[in-house]
Structure 1
């Protein structure tokens, strides 16, 4: 029962959070808490995306534009992603296919620092936005999750990448 509720929340929460707007959010967990880092400039972007033809989106996100609503957590997030050396996180759509009513599938290339990984991501259309999420791992990108207080507080390897793209009617 708990697993069913958790799965429903993973599906529903991005849809409700990102309705009718652009947004990229990275959610993660420590052994004592959770964190959510949102790309503020992308969220405020008025860009409307098109998924027809050969012009699929290629998102260039500044790592320093992510805000975790906690100064220390934001600084740790940026340090972990080496924002001084690698200021851009890229999400590039390689292909995009309709799979059902208001359902889509995309092959997406995510680049963090020097590592690029491809993922299949399912999307739903909701109030003029395409909403999707994918569970990634720090280790997918050769990143060691940070530890604090001599390892007493540590970040878990898994991250949820949630995003919403405003689309044309």
Structure 2
């Protein structure tokens, strides 16, 4: 029995090592002229909250496996500080941070799980969003050209247990659907 456990352990360990060898490694950097914007609407206006890209421009080591028609990523995440968003007005920034519960959850994490090759100009990205202690997956088309990735996707804030705020005694209501837009320029 002891011998079986040892052999099983060695087999498991060697499988893990072999699986890790299949991952290719690459260093990338998100360039400062990239954009990431969260847009929303109220019943009277629209708002755009732009993320300070300088907070995520450091070089990062990515690991991936290329399969037929897919690239699977290992732990490729964008950690976005909620305080890194600027909505153009101090009060709107505070309201946005309150909505995202930034005191309790200071980061939004967007994880790129895999991409599927659709055409020479588009891929389908499969992502996981971690927001306010909840997780939701999305798939979205992404335009690709010259190390540039452009796309957008909609999220319902209620999916993350967040309540759309009401202001001015309930006269101004924020729509529960928000849109995340990105134009990321990448360098090796």
- Say whether 1:94 aligns with 2:113: yes
2:166, 2:120 → 1: CA distance? 44
Distance (whole Å) between structure 1 residues aligned to residue 144 and residue 103 of structure 2: 35
C-alpha distance in structure 1 between counterparts of 2:106 and 2:44, whole Å: 29
Aligned position for 2:104: 85
Asked if the contact 2:132/2:161 (under 8 Å) is kept, the reply is no
Shift of 1:50: 6.5
The number of equivalent residue pairs is: 151
Aligned match of 1:37 in 34, 49, 52? 49
Match of 2:138 in 1: 119
- Compare CA radii of gyration and give the structure with the larger one: 2
Q: Closer, same or farther in 2 for the Cα pair 1:93/1:117, shift >3 Å?
A: same
Q: Deviations over 1:116-152 (max 9, x none)?
A: 0000011001443111100111111111111101110
Task: Tell me how far 1:101 sits from its aligned partner.
Answer: 1.4
Q: Which has the higher contact order (CA 8 A, sep 6+)?
A: 1
| Contact 2:82-2:102 at 8 Å conserved across structures | yes
Alignment gaps of 5+ in structure 1 = 1-18
What's the counterpart of residue 11 of structure 1?
Answer: none
- Give how far 1:56 is off: 6.1
- RMSD value over aligned CA atoms? 2.4
Partner of 2:156: 137
When the two structures are superposed, what TM-score results if normalisation uses the length of structure 1?
Answer: 0.79
Q: 4+ runs of 1 displaced by more than 4 Å?
A: 46-52
* Counterpart residue number, 1:58: 77
- Corresponding position of 2:180: 161
Higher strand fraction (1 or 2): 2
> Which 5+ residue runs of structure 2 have no aligned equivalent?
1-30, 66-72
In 2: Cα distance, 1:40 partner to 1:144 partner: 25
Shift in alpha-carbon separation, 1:90–1:165, aligned structure 2, 3 A: same
- Normalising by structure 2, we get a TM-score of 0.72
Task: Report if aligned partners of 1:22, 1:43 keep a CA contact under 8 Å in 2.
Answer: no
